[in-house]
Amino acid sequence: MEWVEVRGSTVDVAVEAALTELGLSSREDAQIEVVEEPAKGFLGMGARDALVRVTRKPKQEKRQRRRNRNGGGRQGRGDQKQRSDAGNRTRESGKGGRERTQRKPAEKRSGGNGNRSQRGRQNQGAKPMDDNKTPEVEVDAEGQATVVAEFLNGLLDSFGLEGDVATRVDDDVILADVTGEQTEALIGPKGAIMQSVGELTRTVVQRKTHRRARLRLDVGGYQERRREALRIYTGRLADQVLDDGGEIMLEPMNPADRKTVHDAVVDIEGVRSFSEGEEPNRSVVIALAPGVEPRAAAAGSDDSAEDSAEDSGDDDAEE
């Protein structure tokens, strides 16, 4: 039996290519088996084409009746016509005076069979029971952490990346760390891919546990490096505000980065921070704390005071 396996961007594309290769003009002449469904992947990674196996159907041999040398074929057609005419006469006589007896359909009979048929029709409207559906059970943070680990490990396997997943729970917050040299692909520019993976993980956990998950995801130590860089950057901007005064608005950040900046400002005396704007363009503003003067202005006032004191001293000496 002749068959081929063909890949294509969709199942239909692969089937058409296989039919062309087999020289078939219609799907009715082939047996089609979908070996692999197409997958779009996630953020451009892990995509694959559909794989189908198409087999040519065997040709059905038509049965041919043998004809006798004495014109048996014509005789057979005559006998068939006579039988047809006899059947027509029987139906016509039934319409006249003779009553024909017909058996009642099974669903209209009285008794046990009819009852079973009626119950069958009633059950057709009922929804089938889903054996895979599990009752909703309250799951704690530890149970959600298990779901997080399973999903992230499956994600690494799907992308063909080697890495390790470690989860722990701290004050009802799930901390998930993904480590490995190849896991850098899950970070993206400014952690954009990592944020998408985190949102996807929260959605999966909520659907499986019927409870919102508090998750902090870190891939390849990116979050710690990002926090340290933000703390250093915040310290430099705070010094600039303390020197010159005014306010400095940072670029829009996600909630986690904004929290890092706010926490860093708390440890710096003389400055404060607040957020402005709407998501996703919400930014942190660093400004002087109430009642605090810029260092340049304070230094200028001290110099003025010293100059005035020296001038007054000179005047006393001249007198």
Other Cβ atoms within 10 Å of 97 Cβ, number: 6
- For residue 315, the model assigns a pLDDT of 53
* Closest to 106 (Cα-Cα) out of 95, 116, 96, 97: 116
What is the distance between the alpha carbons of residues 42 and 158, in angstroms, rounded to a whole number? 9
How do residues 55-113 score in pLDDT, each as one tens digit?
988 876 545 445 544 444 444 454 554 554 544 443 444 444 443 333 344 444 444 44
Take residue 64 and report the two structure tokens written for it: 């041919």
Cα Rg of the chain (Å, integer) = 42
Domains parsed from the chain with CATH numbers:
3-56 (no CATH), 141-220 (3.30.300.20), 224-295 (3.30.1370.50)
Say which amino acid occupies 255: P
Closest CA to 204 of 176, 169, 162, 172: 176
Q: If you write DSSP's letter for every residue of 55-104 in order, what string do you get?
A: EEPPPPPPP-----TTTHHHHHHHHHHHHHHHHHHHHHHHHTTPPPP-PP
Q: What is the pLDDT of residues 110-147, one digit of tens each?
A: 444 444 444 444 444 444 444 444 445 568 889 999 99
Q: How big is the CA angle at 210 (ends 206 and 214), to the nearest 5 degrees?
A: 45
* Tens-digit pLDDT profile for residues 159-211: 899 999 999 999 889 999 999 988 888 998 888 899 899 999 999 999 999 88
Question: pTM of the entire structure?
Answer: 0.47
Is the CB of residue 118 less than 8 Å from the CB of residue 106? no
